[in-house]
Chain A
């Protein structure tokens, strides 16, 4: 007890220095076309106040104290508002406006609660005044100050983060060493960022330039990838960051057969950076059903998730699923997911059915072109020249959405052949292991694509097999091997 006595003055000094800080919040920043200005504020009785003197200089208003009524008249260009000094009220053209507190006198200075700016002054001012207390911003006029909310969804690897911008705002994304920089078409940002991450994404914060966001990557992170899309009036940016080198051995890796060697770490640009895996059916579209009640939609999703984890972990390739839950997704939507994400490869997973229980084995399906598509293919590859602003022209690829697959048939055939080989090494194949049919889904995907019928659910033995962990792991390994081999095929094809 005696030992603590010398500490008392130090504690008192600390308390006294901390007290004023608690009463004075961070200053507000006024944003307008003229620039940024600081507005000091003070706290009293749990309310935040702004001095009327500051409002006079910032908004070019006049203030007159009314001795008879006991109020303050704030006027701007012939319009006025009376603020009560005894009640939390203001009056604009005879209409009462509630405020969080009455005007407050400190010495010879009057202060008003901060909501006076948006609830009172904005009614007589010639521009919109919006107070965003959390961001410490007062926005004057029609400035674009979108709200930016970021979160780290998965520490990883691979790490994932989502940034939502409301309202929807044009975003451009650039990759710099160790970070992604997102530039928004905005005058300022109203951000809510998460705390520092512990995985491959170290931090999401405001960038060095106004209107920018920096996604800072940790040591060991590979190149980040961000895709922006406008959804329901907001812009959503999904960020994926894979590790720079494959991680050490994991449970999934232990299931890898000897025939699939891990890839050495590489920094060269891969011909495959995004794959879309499509778990067939979903929701009220059950797909095929086995005698024991096994539903195609459930197994396709389970295998797709397994494939995604394996490819992302082993190859560092971004994998997008067309559905991640038991819901109906139209065939057009599935193709759109692949096309809009500019995927380099598309694979749809299904389970088969036949009129007899004897049918068995996996099949790889590709697209069979009809005469119309073949005609399109003959003339494909041309460009269309369109006029653009400035009196110049620009060449653009014109691709019919419903025949997008036409120009990838050679690569798709090669991928199907590789898939067949990889599957044959691990699972039972059908009597017709590979064929081309008029598949509705594949016609619209603008990248090499194939569909796998993994087994026949109408065969009771196969129905039992497909539910097993071993079978699903074998299918996933076969697909992993096929992706690796197809990547090599593309690299060789593009080599000079």
Chain B
């Protein structure tokens, strides 16, 4: 009897462990569809009382408009890579804190975020990121690398980031920076905070 209980208990623990692993793994397809309505807003709900916070680095325009400035900010600690990535991006899409300048066009919303097994992340943004963009290669670089750097600086397993617009691959945001392939982090455009 004792042996039988031991076998059942071990099986149950293994099954639970397997389910837990499968859920935590979050395949890209599931993550992208699960990001739905909650992810499509740029106004993340404030972390509830008692929710643990983590410190992340976000990127905004410098006062002279020439570079990105890294800014530390506390956001909610989320379960899993995808969820944490979404939290980071929702924070990045918020208005820039003074005295920094906004580099993401107004009205831009996060539609989805997922990461492939190769460490390439895909950030799906609403059409406003392109249609509301002011143009110019300098402004476009700041927009693109604010997103790319925010993801790669805070999620060490992500090597590169590709920006999608409305779920589609795009040539550029405003006619200059190549978005057809994932981009790696660019530190040359970042100045010390």
Contacts and interface: CB of A to CB of B under 8 A. Distances in A.
B153 interface: no
Contacts of A370: 181, 183-184
Interface stretch (B45-53, B114-122, B170-178): B170-178
Interface string B158-193: 000000000000011011111111011000000000
Given A356-B61, A358-B65, A453 B175 contact: no
Contacts of A372: 181
A287 interface: yes
B136 A288 contact: yes
A353 B172 contact: no
Nearest to A288: B135
B180 A359 contact: no
Most B CB within 10 A of own CB, among A287, A440, A443, A451: A440
B138 A440 contact: no
Contacts, number: 102
B103 interface: yes
A232 to B, nearest CB: 26
Contact of B179 (A287, A440, A457): A440
Interface of A: 280-281, 285-289, 296, 331, 350-356, 358-359, 363, 365, 370-372, 402, 431-432, 437-441, 443, 451, 453, 456-458
A352 B183 contact: no
A353 B135 contact: yes
Contact of A356 (B63, B172, B177, B184): B63
Interface in B56-90: 61, 63-66
Interface of B: 61, 63-66, 101-103, 134-139, 141-142, 171-172, 174-181, 183-184
A451 B137 contact: yes
Contacts of B177: 437-440
Nearest to B141: A437
B137 A331 contact: no
Contacts of A285: 175
B66 A437 contact: no
Given A331-B171, A440-B171, A353 B139 contact: yes
Contact of B65 (A331, A356, A451): A356
A438 B163 CA distance: 14
Given A280-B175, A370-B181, A438-B177, A354 B63 contact: no
Given A350-B137, A355-B142, A359-B66, A287 B175 contact: yes
A287 B138 CA distance: 13
Contact of A331 (B61, B142, B172): B172
Contact of B138 (A331, A359, A438): A359
A287 B101 contact: no
B131 to A, nearest CB: 11
A352 B175 CA distance: 12
- What 4 pairs between A and B have smallest CB-CB spacing? A353-B136, A356-B65, A288-B135, A440-B178
A439 B64 contact: no
A453 B137 contact: yes
8 contacts: A331-B175, A354-B138, A354-B139, A356-B101, A359-B138, A370-B183, A439-B137, A439-B176
Nearest to A444: B178
Contact of A438 (B134, B136, B142, B183): B183
Contacts of B178: 438-440, 443
Contacts of A353: 134-136, 138-139
